[in-house]
Structure 1
Amino acid sequence: MRKLNIDQEYLKKTLLELLAIPSPVGLTDEVVHYTCGRLDALGVPYELTRRGAIRATIRGETDRPACAVVAHLDTLGATVRQLKPNGRLMMLPLGTWSARFAEGARVTVFTDKGAYRGTILPLKASGHAFNDAVDTQPSGWEYIELRLDEQSERPADLRRLGVNIGDFIAIDPQPEILANGYISSRHLDDKAGVAALLAAIKALVESDITLPVHFHPMFTVTEEVGFGASAILNERISEMVGIDIAIPAEGQNSREHGVTIAICDSSGPFDYHLTRELIAVCQLFGIPHQRDVFPYYFSDSAAALRAGFDIRHALIGFGADSSHGYERTHISALVAIAELLALYAQNGPVIARDRRALGPLEGFPHQWKPEDIEPIEPLPMLSEILRGEEEP
């Protein structure tokens, strides 16, 4: 294996172009077209599911067992829930995110007739009208509304504009990449992961390395609502690494630098052997990393297991502060992710026996061996303790 150089300018340019494409879950066709164009430019073949999930292939020496990595193209957003009597819009969030982060957002509303711009505001938005009530009103999706930048004072005005219940609302990302390497934007989850994966693919394609097995970069379009990689794998893929946001916050061990390797999320622990293999690769090649667990988190990898795929699964992440809000990460985390992915593609399957879905015990791994554990002296039986107390 060889650590490959990651083109940081390509990574940053790709990230900004991805962020510029609105893609709330359910409105992802255009970002799928963009990603396929990136793969075409790199000469990497791919296939699409009916709904637009992408499975690309970088050929290796054998297609069984194959390995995969997955990132998601869909983002958080909202949809129109009600045409309000005051000519504004009530919203239903798409994905799980707080109305606190929706307040003040600039948005695009996609209707059957075209797109309109607008702003999400609290119900009491003017201090000159409501004084201290602006600061004391509750927070929640029922306490905010969307004001279109059109003449609209009643539901009839909205209908005239072609606005309907169920229209998609895309939230502006407002990205900034600073000279010190910090990146601030909405929707880094998971467009930063997608950009890192495409940068890793570029490094692999431009190298002279022959991979040991077929390597499948995959891009899904329904992760934010829990489906993720539920329909994109095939029976040849024995293991998959998810790429997603990691959570630097109080009580967490993630950082905005290096790779965060998840040991467990709300769906349970990730595969022991694949996770430890990723940690070993980081240690061997000097990739900064840390481990973390996520009690309120679900990912593409877990969705594949729930769909019934018998694969080894793992999750790596770029630490991004303020997840599902105004997120911030550092370019070093995305480069580290890309470096690890390029090494993972060269690594081969973690368990050779996994080339078959079913097989004998021979070759099945150990997580620990009895001979490696110090024997524990058995505790005396209660009857023995009582008998000892009766003796003079």
Structure 2
Amino acid sequence: MERVVEILREILEIPSPTGYTGEVLAHIEKKLNEAGINTHYTNKGALLAYNHPEPELIIAGHVDTLGAMVRGILPNGHLSFTRIGGLHLPAFEGEYCTIITRSGKKFRGTLLLKNPSVHVNKDASKKERKEENMYIRLDELVEKKEETEKLGIRPGDFIAFDPKFEYVNGFVKAHFLDDKASAAVMIDLMLDLGAETLKKLPVAFFFSPYEEVGHGGSAGYPSSMRELLVVDMGVVGEGVAGKETAVSIAAKDSSGPYDYEMTTRLIELAEKHNIPHVVDVFPYYGSDGSAALRAGWDVRVALIGQGVHASHGMERTHVKGMLATRNLIRAYIEDRSGS
């Protein structure tokens, strides 16, 4: 297994729905510190990694994922919920999950349609999959609200869905490749470059904890930043050019065009180094770069990422796409620094 895929497997196994990212960031911090790469947290909780005193180029990806939160306890002891981020409920129906209480207790459950048995509900297949029609079946012997409350479960507890990681024929299948595939690429590249080289390169790596709710990239960058290269998933599907085996270079998403000069240089470098790539426009998409621009940062922003099929569902990418993304980031860093 490629090292980048092993890194991805490790971070996928650590639950990190938006708002509950401390554990996965601590794992990344430890791995980088052991390699001699300095890290620190922003006040908002993002993790920055760099060895140069004044980084001008920031490489940003996010570690937060889609998830849910306990909204309430139903009269039968099971749980209503509210989504975190754009959780696509039909794609997560029937998935196993972990409820994490504020005291650190963990309980297992399953996301289901209310009255899900087709043997008693002839309209089960027709019911709209929305929060009001679904619930979390708790794997505990409970029959009423008070019994669940005695377990210590409360509204506001996080719900993390299983990633279902599988690696086959170079394909990585899992929930939450958006954007842990990019985080793995960033970590792998830093380990490749090494601590001493990173001292010479004016580059920092930014791991965002709030991208899925729209404000992850709005704050916390070094004041020396001049360019922001966002690494997020490339879209694969009808009407776009993305491929799982290539890196997508986004010219535009729903927030508008990305920086012309940066985007053009990324395309030129991909062509020069024979990196599998596509140039694309994403119709329903925003990124940490969008958040940074809306927040008023006076920086140039570009967006790239490995192609991911079935985004916000049962996602899939390929190791070739991840390596293409890593190689393009490296080419851009080295081109910018003249190395």
Q: What TM-score do the two structures reach when normalised by structure 1?
A: 0.83
**Among residues 100, 109, 120, which one is paired with 1:110 in the alignment?**
100
Structure 1 residue 304 displacement after superposition: 1.0
Cα RMSD of the aligned pairs, angstroms, is: 1.7
Give the letter aligned to residue 129 of structure 1: V
Give the letter aligned to residue 122 of structure 1: L
Structure 1 residue 129 displacement after superposition: 2.1
Query: Aligned residue for 1:214?
Result: 202
Work out the CA distance in 1 between the residues paired with 2:102 and 2:45: 21
Structure 1 residue 210 displacement after superposition: 7.7
Q: Does 1:189 align with 2:178?
A: yes
Work out the CA distance in 1 between the residues paired with 2:63 and 2:15: 10
Structure 1 residue 237 displacement after superposition: 0.9
Query: Aligned residue for 1:368?
Result: none
Structure 2 portions without partners, runs of 5+: none
Give the letter aligned to residue 10 of structure 1: R
Give yes or no for contact 1:260–1:289 (8 Å, CA) kept in 2.
yes
Query: Aligned residue for 1:78?
Result: 68
Cα offsets for 1:125-158 (capped at 9, x unmatched): 112222x322222221211110111011111111
- Alpha carbons of 1:336 and 1:168: their partners in 2 closer, same or farther (altered >3 Å)? same
Please give the secondary structure, in 2, of the residue aligned with 1:253.
Answer: coil
Cα offsets for 1:41-61 (capped at 9, x unmatched): 2211122112321111143xx
Give yes or no for contact 1:109–1:170 (8 Å, CA) kept in 2.
yes
Work out the CA distance in 1 between the residues paired with 2:232 and 2:117: 38
Q: Does 1:32 align with 2:25?
A: yes
Query: Aligned residue for 1:21?
Result: 14
**Among residues 122, 129, 136, which one is paired with 1:139 in the alignment?**
129
Query: Aligned residue for 2:4?
Result: 11
Q: Does 1:53 align with 2:46?
A: yes
Give the letter aligned to residue 275 of structure 1: T
Q: Does 1:44 align with 2:33?
A: no
**Among residues 255, 259, 272, which one is paired with 1:284 in the alignment?**
272
Structure 1 portions without partners, runs of 5+: 1-7, 351-392
Work out the CA distance in 2 between the residues paired with 1:63 and 1:49: 16
Work out the CA distance in 1 between the residues paired with 2:264 and 2:74: 53
Q: Does 1:230 align with 2:223?
A: no
Work out the CA distance in 2 between the residues paired with 1:217 and 1:136: 46
Q: Does 1:101 align with 2:88?
A: no
Work out the CA distance in 1 between the residues paired with 2:67 and 2:77: 21
Structure 1 residue 112 displacement after superposition: 3.0
Query: Aligned residue for 2:57?
Result: 67
Please give the secondary structure, in 1, of the residue aligned with 2:99.
Answer: strand
**Among residues 271, 277, 297, which one is paired with 1:309 in the alignment?**
297
Give the letter aligned to residue 77 of structure 1: G
Cα offsets for 1:134-183 (capped at 9, x unmatched): 222222121111011101111111111111111100010010011x1011
Cα offsets for 1:178-219 (capped at 9, x unmatched): 1x101100011111100011111111118x868874111111
Please give the secondary structure, in 2, of the residue aligned with 1:165.
Answer: coil
Give yes or no for contact 2:214–2:287 (8 Å, CA) kept in 1.
yes
Structure 1 residue 83 displacement after superposition: 1.1
Work out the CA distance in 2 between the residues paired with 1:38 and 1:347: 27
Please give the secondary structure, in 2, of the residue aligned with 1:133.
Answer: coil
Please give the secondary structure, in 2, of the residue aligned with 1:247.
Answer: strand
Work out the CA distance in 1 between the residues paired with 2:323 and 2:292: 26
Please give the secondary structure, in 1, of the residue aligned with 2:218.
Answer: coil
How many pairs does the alignment contain? 337
Q: Does 1:259 align with 2:269?
A: no
